[in-house]
């Protein structure tokens, strides 16, 4: 007894403290390479906008003494980032290193010494520029990832200035001190700029659909359950991946099990959707009462010889024909509990437990209950990605009927198999499939397209491998 109690207590603990993700996202080296390209483009764009404030100062030059100089209208003309690497530092985050960068700057110069005045323009070439920064990825208060630049360092290796206009004997005297002043000023600008470019990435990350609306019943929560795990070859992100009733977040009586994505590298991104996520959907729809359906004769295709009336049913259960002649019938299919979803390699199965209540429709529209059946059915599911949504289609594997209660005497339920199969195949399943075909939103950022997408059904989860394209 005590042991039982202990075990049940242990079983309960994960309910309240578990932070196992329902959805896992793995960003592979290929995905990180794409991220690098986006980051470099963004940094390049930023560097092009770099503006140096006007500078002025005095330099002592022999033999003429102190000379006042000013530099104005300095503008970036060209920036090159020939080598950029984004490496993953396990436990920390990605590290962006740029070496051999260069830029060209144009500006105007002016010097004064008593009555000597001179001015002209200059071109400045900076080469051998290197900078590196580590990126920290944390969870922001909304559960979205947020990156920031830490430990940034920048160095400008070589600098050369070429003056134009004015007297060369004069500017050659102070060229060196001016170029070192610019070098210092420039060096100070790079890291704040990189930090800025990195924090701009957050505008994109903020578009993560942490609460994705599905329909009038449900929404999916995709907030991060912990900070991303960075290994040498991937960044792994755990998302909640749980369906909730809109506005009312009631936890289901089960929680996500641990699952791990297999080591795949061909796509940029791998998304693992656990059976927990799908079961939480089933829980939500069932709780919302959305998994019940009244079935009337007009819903059954006219080609079917099986009709929902007391004549058809009376053939199998004579009492029905005798007591309720010439009446139409109605069935209420209602989930008894949330369906169970099983993912095994190449096999997605949904087992559902429903009750089927049969009514005769009296001429005054009153429904007279005839009998209640318990229906356990198993459907095989084909799961696929449609756009940025996870969709599905099911077909009936098998069904099992038992008699619940009867107001029309005892009968062998087996004789109703063909009727129920017709109802499932022609009414219930097409309706489910119409719903499933609409799909459920996957975690996405901004205007993201999925390309080269493949999906595998694996143990306890489905794995989507995909490349990503951002369109604006």
Ligand X SMILES: *[C@@H]1O[C@H](CO)[C@@H](O)[C@H](O)[C@H]1NC(C)=O
Residues lying near ligand X in the complex (CB under 6 A): 342, 344, 347, 349, 362, 364, 366
CB of 368 to ligand X, least distance (A): 7
CB of 324 to ligand X, least distance (A): 9
Q: Would you say 266 or 362 has its CB closer to ligand X? A: 362
CB of 379 to ligand X, least distance (A): 10
Q: Residue 23: which H helix or E strand, with range?
A: strand 23-27
CB of 369 to ligand X, least distance (A): 12
CB of 397 to ligand X, least distance (A): 6
Q: Would you say 14 or 380 has its CB closer to ligand X? A: 380
Q: How far is it, in rounded angstroms, from Cα 408 to Cα 308?
A: 16
CB of 380 to ligand X, least distance (A): 6
* Local structure of 191: helix, strand or coil: helix
Q: Residue 397: which H helix or E strand, with range?
A: strand 389-406
Tokens describing residue 389: 């949504």
Q: How far is CA 1 from the centre of its chain?
A: 45
CB of 135 to ligand X, least distance (A): 43
List of residues 6+ apart from 1 with CB closer than 8 A: none
Q: Would you say 264 or 342 has its CB closer to ligand X? A: 342
Q: Would you say 344 or 410 has its CB closer to ligand X? A: 344
> What is the 8-class DSSP label of residue 250?
P
Q: Would you say 16 or 364 has its CB closer to ligand X? A: 364
In contact, 267 and 30? CB cutoff 8 Å: yes
Q: Would you say 253 or 363 has its CB closer to ligand X? A: 363
Q: Would you say 122 or 324 has its CB closer to ligand X? A: 324
Q: Quote helix, strand, coil % in the chain, to nearest 5.
A: 25, 50, 25
CB of 302 to ligand X, least distance (A): 28
CB of 459 to ligand X, least distance (A): 12
CB of 457 to ligand X, least distance (A): 10
Q: Would you say 54 or 344 has its CB closer to ligand X? A: 344
Q: Would you say 301 or 326 has its CB closer to ligand X? A: 326
* Local structure of 244: helix, strand or coil: strand
* C-alpha distances out from residue 299 to 20, 112, 306, 415, 427, Å: 43, 95, 12, 22, 6
Tokens describing residue 40: 């470099």
Q: Would you say 235 or 361 has its CB closer to ligand X? A: 361
In contact, 288 and 245? CB cutoff 8 Å: yes
In contact, 346 and 457? CB cutoff 8 Å: yes
**Conformation bin of residue 460: beta by default, left when phi > 0, alpha when psi is -120 to 50:** left
List of residues 6+ apart from 148 with CB closer than 8 A: 135, 136, 138, 195, 198, 199
Angle between the N-to-C axes of helices 29-48 and 168-205, in degrees from 0 to 180, rounded to the nearest 10:
140
Half-sphere exposure of 167 (CA within 13 A, CB side): 8
Q: How far is it, in rounded angstroms, from Cα 462 to Cα 335?
A: 25
């Amino acid at each position: 007894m005590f042991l039982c109690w202990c075990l049940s207590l242990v079983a309960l603990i994960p309910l309240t403290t578990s932070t196992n993700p329902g959805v896992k996202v793995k960003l592979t080296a290929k995905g990180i390479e794409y991220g690098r390209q986006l980051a470099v483009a963004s940094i390049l764009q930023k560097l092009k906008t770099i503006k140096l404030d006007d500078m002025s100062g005095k330099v002592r030059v022999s033999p003429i003494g102190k000379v006042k100089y000013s530099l104005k209208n300095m503008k970036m003309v060209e920036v090159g980032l020939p080598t950029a690497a984004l490496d993953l530092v396990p436990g920390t985050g990605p590290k962006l290193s740029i070496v051999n960068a260069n830029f060209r700057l144009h500006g105007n110069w002016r010097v004064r010494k008593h009555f000597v005045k001179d001015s002209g323009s200059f071109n400045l070439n900076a080469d051998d520029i290197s900078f590196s920064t580590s990126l920290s990825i944390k969870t922001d208060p909304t559960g979205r990832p947020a990156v920031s630049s830490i430990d940034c360092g920048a160095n400008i290796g070589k600098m050369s200035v070429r003056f134009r206009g004015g007297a060369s004997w004069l500017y050659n005297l102070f060229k060196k001190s001016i170029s070192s002043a610019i070098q210092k000023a420039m060096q100070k600008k790079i890291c704040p700029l990189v930090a800025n470019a990195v924090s701009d990435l957050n505008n994109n990350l903020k578009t993560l659909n942490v609460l994705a609306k599905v329909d009038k019943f449900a929404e999916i929560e995709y907030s991060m359950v912990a900070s991303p795990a960075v290994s040498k070859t991937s960044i792994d992100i755990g998302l909640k991946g749980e369906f909730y009733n809109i506005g009312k977040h009631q936890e289901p009586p089960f929680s996500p099990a641990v699952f791990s994505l297999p080591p795949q590298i061909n796509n940029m991104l791998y998304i693992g959707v656990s059976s927990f996520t799908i079961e939480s959907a089933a829980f939500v729809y069932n709780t919302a009462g959305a998994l019940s359906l009244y079935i009337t004769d007009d819903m059954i295709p006219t080609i079917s010889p099986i009709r929902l009336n007391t004549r058809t049913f009376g053939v199998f259960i004579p009492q029905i024909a005798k007591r309720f002649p010439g009446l139409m019938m109605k069935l209420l299919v209602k989930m008894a509990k949330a369906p169970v979803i099983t993912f095994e390699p190449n096999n997605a199965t949904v087992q559902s437990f429903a009750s089927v209540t049969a009514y005769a429709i009296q001429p005054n529209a009153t429904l007279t209950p005839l009998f209640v059946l318990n229906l356990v059915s198993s459907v095989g599911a084909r799961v696929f990605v449609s756009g940025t949504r996870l969709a599905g289609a099911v077909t009936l594997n098998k069904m099992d009927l038992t008699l619940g209660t009867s107001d029309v005497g005892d009968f062998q339920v087996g004789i109703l198999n063909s009727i129920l199969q017709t109802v499932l195949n022609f009414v219930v399943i097409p309706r489910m499939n119409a719903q499933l075909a609409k799909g459920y939103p996957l975690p996405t950022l901004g205007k993201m397209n999925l390309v080269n997408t493949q999906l595998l059904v694996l143990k306890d989860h489905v794995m989507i491998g995909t490349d990503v394209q951002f369109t604006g």
